Amino acid sequence: MTPIDLIVTVCAVLSPTTCEETHLVFSSNVSLKQCVMAAQPYIAQWVGEHPKWTAVKWRCEYPRNNQKASGEPVWTAV
């Protein structure tokens, strides 16, 4: 399985101009385009667990050596 970085831009619900990127790990054998299309339920799960934030955009990339994704994989597909 290839790790894919799901990079989600989230903004504070009470301050919509306060935004940051969060990195989540996908472990999957899908393309970056498929990752972007399949990410919505996992982003919704993250937002449900972090109710002070709302997702405004996202993208998928292959991880770079100097970046670390947060937490455990949010999605594993075979």
Residue 7's nearest CA partner among 53, 67, 51, 50 is 67
Residue 72 clears pLDDT 70, i.e. is over it: no
Domain boundaries of the chain, sorted by first residue: 2-63
Can you tell me the distance from the alpha carbon of 52 to that of 47, in angstroms, rounded to the nearest whole number? 8
Reported as a single tens digit per residue, the pLDDT across 15-71 is: 999 999 999 887 778 888 999 888 999 999 999 999 999 999 999 998 875 444 444
DSSP classification of residue 16: T
Predicted TM-score (pTM) of this structure: 0.74
